[in-house]
């Protein structure tokens, strides 16, 4: 990491960084900032001196690292205040990708500023952050509410507590640290008070299901009767089968006030979507739930601002609905299947009601295979003409009028061992860039390699007809679903799993083929009429022209 600002702290940091890696520098600044907050006028001589100061109030933060003692004393000569040390330390953490601090993984700051407006805290009282992750949003909630009560920080990780302390202390000095264990009974014993507000961002990786379950159970036990539990997690919490246990636990223990699905919710991994659940103790008479889905994190932040505005309209008892961004109000029982808010798109709901009267609804992945190409073209060595051992290579731009235009198709010599080749009757579906462009594979385009911006839909034999599926994918109902699932700002993207979850109006295969036969007959009649109309117009033009010759 290159540090360019010139001030006493930076000069000191540069001298330390020449001897130690970034993690040691972070530790050094961290312990100095904490000690200077706790004892501003005390001169730090060594690590033992620091530990003596800190242990009086925060024994969890005693340091046992390997930084040389004399480097601590150098901080005493810096012409900077403790807040500058904190700010500088946080800048290092935010801009360093490789570190050992769990608190680094955070919520996109653009979202934090707006989401904090959803929470109203009392001026005093007790609030709690359960794992010190996503601390920027917790801090913003405290700042916007000008909260003066007690702030409790809980974590199983000492370094997360250090970072959380550094972020919260400048705006609220009533901070209490709790270093604990994952067992609910051990965590509960750490708290003697009930809480007005509890905040939790779930852990990531294989432990996330255990952590979220622990936090849900704990929050139920220590949340005040009219308290709020703000739960932030991955979007998988809303929809996947693996997270069903957590969703059931939420439904059993809490009333759900709001559910959000947010695109690009985390930093630094902006490709991960997030979810927000605003929960109340299960004693409310209100059975309504506010739901919203944001496909894009736009620079103007207009969508998230609009969603927050509509949330307050909803709290005032007003009816709220929007297609883009998706906003709706539903009943709690509507969430028993899952928390996928995209099911509640107002436009799709009205279409679904009409379609349900006539068709069975099936997920796309129940009637065809969703196949990723598994071909990574790293060479880009295309050929204009075929040669020995070359393969046709289909890109999105080769799809024209529902078929594959092979007149200008590229050829490529290399094929990955696991690459999937197209078959007659397959349908190509573009998932990146131009979303939802579809083309049917015929004999001319079969046995082709496919670009990674496309996926292959392979209809199940005797379940769905290729022509029927092609027309269904172009229907208004499917188009609306596709548009609601697109993510990305610069380049649009729809995940293959999302494509597989699209709802298709379904009739048995014999009825499909009968309908397609009638449609093809009408299409032929239409082409014939257009051709005849063109001939009549030419004859008319010729007749009028000859009249005055």
What does the pLDDT look like over 108-163, one tens digit per residue?
Answer: 777 888 999 999 999 999 999 987 877 889 999 999 999 999 999 888 877 778 77
- pLDDT surpasses 60 at 205: no
Between strands 254-262 and 288-294, the pairing is: parallel
- pLDDT surpasses 90 at 446: yes
CATH code assigned to 364-507: 3.90.220.20
Return the SS3 of 288.
strand
User: Residues near 400 by Cβ (< 8 Å), separated by ≥ 6?
Assistant: 439
Class for the domain spanning 104-342: alpha beta
User: Using one digit for the tens of pLDDT, what is the confidence trace for 171-186?
Assistant: 888 888 888 765 555 6
What's residue 489's pLDDT?
54
Residue pair 359/512 in contact (Cβ under 8 Å)? The answer is no
- Whole-number Å distance between alpha carbons of 107 and 167: 14
What are the phi and psi torsion angles at 479 (to 5°)?
A: -60, -40
Long-range pairs for 301-304 at CB < 8 Å and ≥24 separation?
A: 301/110, 301/113, 301/114, 304/110, 304/111, 304/114, 304/115, 304/262
- The strand pairing partners of 126, in sequence order, are 150
- Whole-number Å distance between alpha carbons of 532 and 526: 10
DSSP 104: G
Banded model confidence at residue 349, pLDDT cuts 50, 70, 90: confident
Return the SS3 of 483.
helix
User: Using one digit for the tens of pLDDT, what is the confidence trace for 233-279?
Assistant: 888 888 887 888 899 999 999 999 999 988 877 765 556 788 899 99
Alpha carbon distances (Å) from 444 to 334, 405, 423, 425, 502: 47, 9, 10, 11, 29
What's residue 178's pLDDT?
84
- Whole-number Å distance between alpha carbons of 224 and 232: 20
Q: 């040390």: which residue's tokens?
A: 85
Q: Where are the alpha helices (DSSP H) in 116-230?
A: 135-145, 158-168, 184-188, 208-222
Q: Can you read off the two tokens belonging to residue 332? A: 């709690």
The structural domains of the chain, with segments of one domain joined by +, span: 8-100, 104-342, 364-507, 511-549
What's residue 98's pLDDT?
38
- Whole-number Å distance between alpha carbons of 390 and 498: 33
What's residue 210's pLDDT?
65
Residue pair 199/106 in contact (Cβ under 8 Å)? The answer is no
Banded model confidence at residue 103, pLDDT cuts 50, 70, 90: very low
- Whole-number Å distance between alpha carbons of 195 and 176: 13
Report the chain's C-alpha Rg in angstroms: 30
- Whole-number Å distance between alpha carbons of 254 and 217: 10
What number is the average pLDDT over the span 307-331?
Answer: 90
| CB atoms near residue 367 (< 10 Å) | 18
Among 316, 244, 322, 246, residue whose Cα is nearest residue 286: 316
Least confident span in 59-68, 313-322, 502-511: 59-68
Return the SS3 of 194.
coil
Q: What is the mean pLDDT of the chain?
A: 80
């Amino acid at each position: 990491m290159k540090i360019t600002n010139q001030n006493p702290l930076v000069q000191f940091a540069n001298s330390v960084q020449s001897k130690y890696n970034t993690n040691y520098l972070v530790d050094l600044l961290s312990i100095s900032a904490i000690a200077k907050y706790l004892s501003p006028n005390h001169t730090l001589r060594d690590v033992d001196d620091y530990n003596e100061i800190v242990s009086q109030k925060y024994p969890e933060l005693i340091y046992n690292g390997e930084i040389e003692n004399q480097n601590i004393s150098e901080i005493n000569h810096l012409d900077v205040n403790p807040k500058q040390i904190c700010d500088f330390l946080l800048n290092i953490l935010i801009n360093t990708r490789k570190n050992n601090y769990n608190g680094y993984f955070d919520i996109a700051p653009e979202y934090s500023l707006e989401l904090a407006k959803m929470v109203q805290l009392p001026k005093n009282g007790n609030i709690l952050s359960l794992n010190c992750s996503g601390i920027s949003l917790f801090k913003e909630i405290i700042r916007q509410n000008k909260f003066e009560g007690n702030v409790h920080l809980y974590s199983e990780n000492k370094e997360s507590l250090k970072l959380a302390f550094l972020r919260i202390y400048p705006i609220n000095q009533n901070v209490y640290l709790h270093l604990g264990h994952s067992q609910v009974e051990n965590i509960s014993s750490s708290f003697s008070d009930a809480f007005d507000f509890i905040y939790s961002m779930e852990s990531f990786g294989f432990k996330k299901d255990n952590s979220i379950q622990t936090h849900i159970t704990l929050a139920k036990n220590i949340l005040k009767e009219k308290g709020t539990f703000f739960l932030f997690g991955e979007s998988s919490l809303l929809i996947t089968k693996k997270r069903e246990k957590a969703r059931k636990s939420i439904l059993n223990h809490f009333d759900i006030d709001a559910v959000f699905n947010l695109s690009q919710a985390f930093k630094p991994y902006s490709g991960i979507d997030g979810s927000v659940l605003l929960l109340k103790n299960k004693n409310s008479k209100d059975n309504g739930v506010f739901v919203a889905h944001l496909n894009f994190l736009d620079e103007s932040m207009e969508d998230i601002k609009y969603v927050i505005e509509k949330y307050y309209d909803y709290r005032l008892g007003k009816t709220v609905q929007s297609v883009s961004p998706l906003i709706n109000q539903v009943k709690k029982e509507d969430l028993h299947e899952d928390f996928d808010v995209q099911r509640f798109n107002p436009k799709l709901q009205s279409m679904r009601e009409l379609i349900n009267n006539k068709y069975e609804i099936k997920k796309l992945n129940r009637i065809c295979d969703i196949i990723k190409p598994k071909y990574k073209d790293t060479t880009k060595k295309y050929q204009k003409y075929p040669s020995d051992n070359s393969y046709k290579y289909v890109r999105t731009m080769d799809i024209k009028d529902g078929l594959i235009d092979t007149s200008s198709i590229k050829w490529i010599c290399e094929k990955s061992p696991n690459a999937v080749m197209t078959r007659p009757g397959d349908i190509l579906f573009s998932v990146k860039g131009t979303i939802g462009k579809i083309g049917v594979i015929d004999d001319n385009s079969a046995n082709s390699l496919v670009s990674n911006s496309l996926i292959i839909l392979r209809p199940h034999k005797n379940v769905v007809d290729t022509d029927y599926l092609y027309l269904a994918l172009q229907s208004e109902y499917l188009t609306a679903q596709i548009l609601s699932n697109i993510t990305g700002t610069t380049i649009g993207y729809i995940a293959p799993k999302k494509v597989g979850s699209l709802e298709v109006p379904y009739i048995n295969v014999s009825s499909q083929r009968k309908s397609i036969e009638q449609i093809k007959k009408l299409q032929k009649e239409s082409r014939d009429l257009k051709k005849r109309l063109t001939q009549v117009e030419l004859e008319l033009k010729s007749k009028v022209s000859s009249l005055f010759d």
